[in-house]
């Protein structure tokens, strides 16, 4: 049974493997003993040696990266077939679904076994996969199915409140999670911001997730409320989440208040910073500003005992 720390670590490893492999996570969720992923496997790109090393830095620890760089230096010195084999060793693990899943499961299993002083496999069987048509209708329905797992399991009544999912990550301001759902809505090139995409996806997910008969799901009243609000989260709903700005934002207040702090404590900030006030991500916070631009999970739904 995966506890809070296990699920947080799974999220971290998932994003590391995504950055390394080039396989894009559209959305995801992990429950107490299994997980679901919606993945986009784009065509392979041309990567030079510097690009391969950069991808490796997303995945390997400092010690692991030292070994990779030493191996590369040795292959570069010998050149020819040795260097080509070094390139192939890493390139064959990119833009490939099976390699993505293999790397994800192996790395999470290794971490889990170390933490719990155990050995052997963690997953009972090989992953199962379904090929999904890249149409707007199909992608949205599969994404919503994955993000509604915790609702169907009776863990939460609102999918944003189950923090170990792509939708909750997106509500929390994670740019990668938002990009995934923007791609599911097929709006990457439309220039539409998350405020509109998030509201549209929330209407979709509540409409699909409405309970029917004895099936667990979202109440008809909650669906009606979301549609009446245009899919936007209210200020009160945002405050029910764990808002990192209130603990890690350094300063919270009006633009003038934050700018005054920035001017008085200039040494605390990067020399590249020209101003102090930053908008709070993840919702409509009105005129509130912060001194830190928390791009990664600034707002997280409360922990649930899934």
Instruction: Inform me whether the pLDDT recorded for 212 exceeds 70.
Output: no
pLDDT at 248: 65
How far is residue 154's CA from residue 217's CA, in Å, rounded to a whole number? 8
Whether 90 shows a pLDDT value over 90: the answer reads yes
Give the tens place of pLDDT for each residue, 13-34: 999 999 999 999 999 999 988 8
pLDDT digits (tens, 9 = 90+) for 28-64: 999 988 899 999 999 999 999 999 999 999 999 999 9
- The neighbouring-strand residues paired with 252 are 290
Backbone Cα Rg of the chain: 22
pLDDT value at 200 more than 70: yes
d(CA 256, CA 39): 43
Residue of higher predicted confidence among 206 and 246: 206
Say whether pTM exceeds 0.75.
no
pLDDT at residue 168 greater than cutoff 80: yes
Instruction: Inform me whether the pLDDT recorded for 93 exceeds 90.
Output: yes
pLDDT value of residue 237: 55
Strand bridging mode 24-30 / 35-40: antiparallel
**Average pLDDT across the chain, whole number:** 82
More confident residue, 120 or 9: 9
Q: Answer whether residue 236 shows pLDDT above 60.
A: no
Q: What percent of the chain has pLDDT over 90?
A: 39
User: Interior CA angle at 276 toward 271 and 282, to 5°?
Assistant: 120
74-78, 189-193, 213-217, 252-256: which range is least confident on average?
A: 213-217
Decide if 167 contacts 201 (C-beta within 8 A). yes
Q: What pLDDT band is residue 296 in, cutting at 50, 70 and 90?
A: very low
Average pLDDT for 233-240 = 53
Q: Quick check: 266 pLDDT over 90?
A: no
């Amino acid at each position: 049974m995966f506890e809070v720390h296990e699920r947080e670590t799974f999220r971290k490893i998932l994003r590391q493997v995504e950055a390394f492999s080039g396989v894009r996570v559209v959305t995801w969720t992990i429950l107490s003993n299994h997980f679901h992923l919606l993945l986009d496997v784009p065509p392979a790109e041309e990567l030079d040696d510097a690009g391969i090393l950069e991808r490796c830095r997303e995945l390997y620890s400092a010690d692991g990266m030292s070994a990779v760089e030493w191996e590369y230096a040795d292959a570069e010195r010998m050149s020819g077939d040795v260097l080509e084999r070094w390139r192939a060793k890493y390139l064959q693990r990119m833009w490939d679904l099976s390699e993505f899943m293999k790397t994800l499961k192996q790395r999470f299993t290794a971490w889990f076994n170390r933490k719990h002083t155990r050995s052997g496999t963690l997953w009972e069987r090989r992953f199962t996969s379904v090929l999904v048509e890249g149409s707007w209708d199909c992608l949205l329905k599969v994404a919503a199915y994955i993000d509604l797992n915790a609702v169907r399991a009776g863990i939460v009544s609102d999918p944003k409140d189950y923090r170990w999912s792509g939708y909750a990550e997106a509500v929390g301001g994670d740019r990668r999670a938002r990009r995934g759902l923007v791609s599911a809505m097929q709006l990457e090139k439309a220039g539409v911001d998350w405020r509109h995409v998030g509201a549209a996806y929330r209407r979709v997910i509540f409409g699909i997730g409405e309970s029917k008969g004895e099936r667990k799901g979202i109440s008809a009243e909650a669906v009606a409320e979301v549609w009446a609000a245009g899919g936007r989260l209210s200020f009160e709903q945002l405050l029910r989440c764990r808002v990192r700005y209130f603990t890690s934002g350094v300063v919270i207040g009006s633009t003038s208040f934050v700018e005054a702090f920035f001017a008085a404590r200039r040494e605390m900030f990067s020399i590249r910073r020209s101003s102090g006030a930053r908008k709070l991500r993840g919702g409509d916070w009105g005129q509130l500003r912060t001194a830190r631009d928390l791009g990664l999970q600034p707002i997280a739904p409360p922990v649930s005992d899934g």
